[in-house]
């Protein structure tokens, strides 16, 4: 099935607005945000049974966000059919839809783009986007990405000569895989230039595919970029991209420098989530700018009170101004975000933010003298979620061939889930070449959180 083609008028008007707002004044950006918030609240009150109750008796034109309750994934997923603004959207049907990998990027009900999130907070989510929301994401992704190769952009502004390789999870309805497959279907010229490479295969398989493809752009996660950089330094990876795009995890200055030195090309990081695909992108000065004309972020402390500029909160609340079909209003995102008080020298009035995202460890498994096998943290979490159905867990590497798998769950169901997960994890590690790894399990033991405030799901044991 082909992807639903975007409305050219909607897509064109949105692209023009995004382009103009990129250099708009602070007042103009604030005006856009205020109008879109009023529109979102009015639409939610009219079409979402959940928010009709929340907003009952309240006018929406001048309503302050801080006067509304915080919403959380677990609660919203628990009342999904009341949450969404289209009564034809039903959670049971959507779960059947995302369970079928053959339907990745198919339009649900002929009109909606659907993807699922990981269960990093213990609860997987399903997110539905209409054509207007997708037009916003497309425009933000396409028009606010920094020009890493200015001369290349000058004579090839649409990237028609690029070969792009995405290295990540390719078999599920995740935002990245759905977005890539959707683009391939919408633009026939991209079908031979946009490729997905699974990071669930052994490293040598990824390397072989990249060497054969010889991409000009690699898009992946920071942990995978570091692993590929190590392969590049060793001489096994010969692909020589002109730029690398990363996102989904924290990219430290040290990791960025290591990847740039290994490949001899610039690295650009972006900030996004399943709840809003394109929250921020870097400018030419390397600062992360929030797309504040389309998304509102509120850093708050542990009691839900707002923190000032330059201060980091305990969590961040997200309001998606683009998606009216599944209203996300003061949604607890779980990330820790700091708004910088100083303006950026690039000239953009879009806010500058710093994000403490997830930063997990790549595991190196194997016995002394027999070589080690590198396993990406996101590959491990994907396997446990998709194949074992376990979402509340932490993997701790305690030795070269010893892992601890623990969960905060208790009781018989927890023990059964851990038994299933241990079997699935062992099979996956053997497929990677990590043979003889002992996995022991403990229930009723929540994992430790990292600097981001989220539980680190794959870590090395402290020395």
End-of-domain residue from the set 325, 358, 391? 358
Assign 120 a pLDDT band (cuts: 50, 70, 90).
low
Q: Which is it for strands 402-406 and 394-399: parallel, antiparallel or unpaired?
A: antiparallel
Residue 201's CB: how many other CB atoms inside 10 A?
Answer: 16
Does the pLDDT at position 225 exceed 90?
yes
Short-list 413, 420, 409, CA closest to 442: 409
Of 23, 13, 34, which is closest to residue 294 (Cα–Cα)? 34
- Statement to judge: residues 57 and 181 lie in one domain: no
d(CA 152, CA 402): 48
pLDDT in tens, 23-46: 999 999 999 999 999 999 999 999
Give the mean model confidence (pLDDT) for residues 449-462.
73
Report the mean per-residue pLDDT for the chain.
90
Q: Are residues 154 and 143 in the same domain?
A: no
12 and 142: one domain? Answer: yes
What's residue 454's pLDDT? 65
State whether 132 and 89 are in the same domain.
yes
Same domain, 24 and 117: yes
Query: 51 φ, ψ to 5°?
Result: -75, -20
Q: How confident is the model at residue 145 (pLDDT cuts 50, 70, 90)?
A: confident
CB atoms within 10 A of CB 390: 23
Residue 45 lies in a domain: yes
Tokens representing residue 461 in the block: 């044991």
In this predicted structure, what is the pLDDT of residue 48? 98
- Domain stops at, among 358, 375, 391: 358
The answer to whether residues 271 and 288 touch, using CB atoms and an 8 Å cutoff, is: yes
Closest CA to 17 of 104, 138, 181, 189: 138
E strand segments, 206-330: 217-220, 243-246, 267-273, 276-282, 288-290, 295-300, 315-320
In a domain, 243, yes or no: yes
Same domain, yes or no, for 7 and 114?
Answer: yes
Q: CA separation (Å) from 333 to 133, 226, 329? A: 19, 26, 11
Q: What is the mean pLDDT of residues 405-414?
A: 91
Mean pLDDT lowest for which of 150-154, 272-276, 348-352, 359-363? 150-154
Token pair of 229 as six digits? 């950089």
**120/71 same-domain check:** yes
**The CATH number of the domain where 244 resides is what?**
3.40.50.980
Residue 426 Cα distances to 173, 199, 336, 418, angstroms: 24, 17, 33, 12
pLDDT of residue 1: 63
Q: Residue for token digits 């030195």?
A: 261
State the CATH number of the domain containing residue 433.
Answer: 3.30.300
Q: Which helix (H) or strand (E) holds 340?
A: none
Q: Are residues 9 and 129 in the same domain?
A: yes
For range 240-265, the mean pLDDT:
93
- Please name every residue paired with 198 in a beta bridge, in sequence order, or none if there are none: 168
462 Rama class: left (phi>0) / alpha (psi -120 to 50) / beta? beta
Same domain, 8 and 123: yes
The total number of structural domains in the chain stands at 3
Task: Assess if residue 108 is contained within a domain.
Answer: yes
> Is residue 271 domain-resident?
no
Check residues 9 and 49 and name the one with the higher pLDDT. Answer: 49
Asked if residue 136 and residue 35 are part of one domain, the reply reads yes
- What burial letters (b/e) apply to 145-181, b meaning 16+ CB within 10 Å? bbebbeebeeeeeebeebbbbbbbbbebbbbbbbbbb
In a domain, 283, yes or no: no
The C-alpha angle with vertex 116 and arms to 418 and 10, in degrees rounded to 5, equals 175
Show the domain range for 243: 149-265
SS3 88: coil
Longest dimension (CA), the chain: 71
The arithmetic mean of pLDDT across residues 398-414, rounded, is 93
Question: Are residues 139 and 6 located together in one domain of the fold?
Answer: yes
Same domain membership, residue 156 and residue 139: no
- For residues 153 and 342, the model is more confident at 342
Q: Is residue 308 part of a domain?
A: yes
pLDDT in tens, 255-285: 999 999 999 999 999 999 999 999 999 998 8
Average pLDDT estimate for 391-413: 93
- What pLDDT is stored for residue 59 in this prediction? 82
Where a domain ends, among 265, 298, 330? Answer: 265
Whether pLDDT at 58 is above 90: no
Q: Does the residue 83 lie in any domain?
A: yes
Instruction: Assess whether pLDDT exceeds 80 at residue 439.
Output: yes
Per-residue pLDDT, 151: 65
**CA nearest neighbour of 241 among 258, 223, 219:** 219
417: Cβ–Cβ under 8 A, 6 or more apart, which residues? 388, 389, 390, 407, 409
Residue 237 lies in a domain: yes
Specify the CATH number for the domain of residue 75. 3.40.50.12780
Residue 54 three-state SS: helix
Instruction: Taking residues 47-71, report their average pLDDT.
Output: 92
- Cα–Cα distance between 438 and 284 in angstroms, integer? 47
Question: Residue 135: which residues within 8 A CB-CB, separation 6 or more?
Answer: 6, 7, 10, 11, 14, 15
């Amino acid at each position: 099935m082909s992807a639903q083609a975007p409305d050219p008028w909607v897509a064109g008007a949105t692209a023009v607005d995004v382009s103009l707002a990129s250099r708009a004044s602070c007042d103009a950006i604030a005006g856009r945000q205020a109008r879109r918030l009023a529109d979102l609240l009015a639409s939610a009150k009219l079409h979402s049974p959940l928010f009709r109750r929340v907003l009952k008796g309240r006018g929406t034109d001048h309503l302050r966000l801080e006067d509304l309750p915080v919403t959380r994934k677990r609660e919203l997923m628990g009342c999904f059919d009341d949450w969404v603004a289209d009564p034809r959207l039903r959670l049971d049907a959507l779960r059947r839809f995302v369970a079928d990998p053959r339907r990745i990027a198919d339009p649900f009900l002929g009109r909606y783009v659907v993807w699922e999130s990981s269960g990093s907070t213990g609860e997987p989510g399903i997110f539905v986007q209409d054509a207007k929301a997708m037009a916003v994401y497309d425009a933000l992704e396409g028009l606010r990405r920094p020009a890493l190769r200015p001369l290349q952009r000058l004579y090839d502004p649409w990237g028609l000569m690029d070969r792009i390789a995405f290295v990540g999870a390719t078999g599920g309805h995740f935002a990245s895989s759905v977005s890539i497959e959707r683009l391939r279907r919408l633009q026939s010229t991209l079908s031979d230039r946009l490729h997905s490479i699974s990071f669930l295969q052994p490293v040598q398989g990824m390397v072989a595919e990249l060497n054969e493809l010889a991409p000009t752009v690699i898009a992946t996660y920071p942990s995978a970029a570091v692993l590929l950089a190590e392969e590049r330094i060793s001489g096994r990876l010969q692909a020589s991209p002109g730029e690398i795009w990363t996102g989904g995890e924290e990219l430290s200055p040290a990791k960025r420098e290591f990847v740039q030195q290994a490949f001899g090309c610039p690295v650009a990081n972006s900030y996004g989530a399943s709840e809003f695909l394109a929250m921020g992108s870097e400018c030419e000065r390397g600062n992360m700018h929030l797309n504040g004309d389309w998304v509102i972020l509120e850093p708050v402390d542990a009691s839900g009170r707002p923190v000032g500029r330059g201060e980091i909160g305990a969590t961040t609340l997200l309001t998606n101004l683009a998606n009216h079909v599944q209203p996300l209003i003061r949604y607890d995102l779980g990330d820790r975000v700091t708004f910088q008080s100083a303006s950026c020298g690039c000239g953009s009035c879009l806010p500058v933010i710093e994000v403490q995202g997830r930063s997990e460890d790549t595991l190196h498994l194997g016995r002394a003298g027999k070589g080690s096998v590198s396993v990406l943290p996101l590959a491990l979490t994907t396997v446990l979620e998709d194949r074992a159905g376990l979402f509340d867990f932490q993997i701790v590497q305690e030795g070269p061939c010893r892992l601890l798998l623990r969960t905060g769950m208790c009781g018989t169901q927890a023990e059964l889930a851990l038994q299933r997960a241990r079997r699935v994890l062992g099979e996956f590690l053997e497929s990677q070449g990590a043979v003889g790894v002992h996995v022991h399990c403990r229930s009723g033991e929540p994992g430790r959180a990292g600097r981001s405030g989220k539980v680190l799901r794959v870590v090395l044991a402290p020395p």
